[in-house]
């Protein structure tokens, strides 16, 4: 039986973890991004470390998860991450995460033309969609509208897209909206959001990550059944 947490509940949980729960955003983002990298490694095992992983980075925490994911994939020699991060708020953590990538020689793209050029080659193994998370509300603003439209229109020719928490452009409750990027895999963080049910119905890969809450908190938020799905010391669980 599918049991999701709403965007409102997910926001409350984040707020609780970072206030009375005493977690820092640095900690949670590190674990979330690491879990996304683990899920990618498992679902699409590495083949050639000279291949590329294009990480599309949004302006908020979903983007931060993507930056952390890119770093772990780089450190694990999975492939060469390349980031496209067009809107960069003056946020110290995001700036630090970006600096960590620059120090590791991670390439950065600056406009949609560069993204399209990269994707026209054959060397991109996976696209990571870390654009928008559960707090996204339409409309999709510039420059993300053109990017999402491009992904949506060219889905059949593109490498698999892995979405972080929700497929970008989807409504967190309702699912596909004005465009559907056609993600092949979803990594739900902490617990699936309502739109995940529509994603799972498509028979695509679905992982759970962000194993940082304890049984009591899980019980209070009604997601204890998900927490039980993690095996041993695994940081991810495959749901479908």
Q: What is the binding site for a copy of itself (CB under 8 A)? A: 20-24, 26-27, 30-31, 34, 37-38, 41, 46, 72, 74-76, 78, 93, 95-97, 99-100, 103-105, 211-214, 216-217, 230, 232-233
Q: Which of 219, 234, 209, 238 is nearest to 37 (CA)?
A: 209
Characterize the bridge pairing of strands 185-189 and 107-109: unpaired
> How distant, in Å, are the alpha carbons of 44, 82, 110, 114 from that of 107?
21, 5, 10, 11
- The answer to whether 176 is annotated as binding is no
Task: Kindly state the smallest distance separating residue 110's Cβ from a copy of itself, in Å.
Answer: 21
Determine the distance from the C-alpha atom of residue 174 to the mean position of all C-alpha atoms in its chain, rounded to a whole number: 19
Cβ closest to a copy of itself, residue 78 vs residue 132: 78
- The answer to whether 138 is annotated as binding is yes
| CB of 168 closer than 8 Å to CB of 129 | yes
Task: Kindly state the smallest distance separating residue 15's Cβ from a copy of itself, in Å.
Answer: 15
Cβ closest to a copy of itself, residue 157 vs residue 233: 233
Task: Kindly state the smallest distance separating residue 24's Cβ from a copy of itself, in Å.
Answer: 5
- The answer to whether 110 is annotated as binding is no
Cβ closest to a copy of itself, residue 6 vs residue 24: 24
Which residues contact residue 25 at a Cβ distance below 8 angstroms, ignoring those fewer than 6 apart? 18, 61, 64, 93
- The answer to whether 139 is annotated as binding is yes
Instruction: For tokens 């559960």, name the residue.
Output: 134
């Amino acid at each position: 039986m599918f049991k999701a947490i709403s965007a409102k509940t997910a926001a409350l949980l984040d707020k609780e973890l970072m206030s009375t729960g005493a977690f820092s955003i640095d900690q949670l983002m590190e674990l979330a991004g690491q879990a996304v990298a683990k899920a990618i490694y498992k679902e699409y095992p590495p083949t050639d470390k000279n291949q590329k992983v294009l990480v599309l980075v949004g302006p908020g925490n979903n983007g931060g998860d993507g930056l952390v994911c890119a770093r772990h994939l780089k450190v694990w020699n999975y492939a060469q991450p390349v980031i496209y991060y067009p809107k960069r708020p003056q946020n110290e953590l995001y700036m630090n995460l970006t600096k960590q990538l620059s120090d590791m020689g991670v390439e950065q793209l600056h406009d949609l033309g560069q993204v399209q050029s990269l994707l026209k080659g054959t060397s991109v193994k996976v696209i990571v969609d870390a654009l928008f998370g559960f707090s996204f509300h339409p409309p999709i603003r510039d420059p993300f509208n053109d990017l999402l439209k491009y992904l949506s229109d060219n889905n059949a020719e593109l490498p698999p897209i892995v979405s972080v928490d929700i497929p970008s452009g989807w409504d967190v409750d309702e699912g596909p909206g004005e465009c559907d990027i056609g993600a092949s895999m979803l990594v739900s963080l902490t617990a699936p959001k309502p739109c995940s049910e529509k994603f799972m119905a498509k028979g695509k890969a679905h992982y759970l990550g962000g194993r940082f809450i304890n049984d009591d908190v899980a019980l209070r938020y009604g997601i204890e059944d998900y927490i039980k799905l993690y095996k041993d010391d695994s940081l991810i669980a495959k749901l479908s």
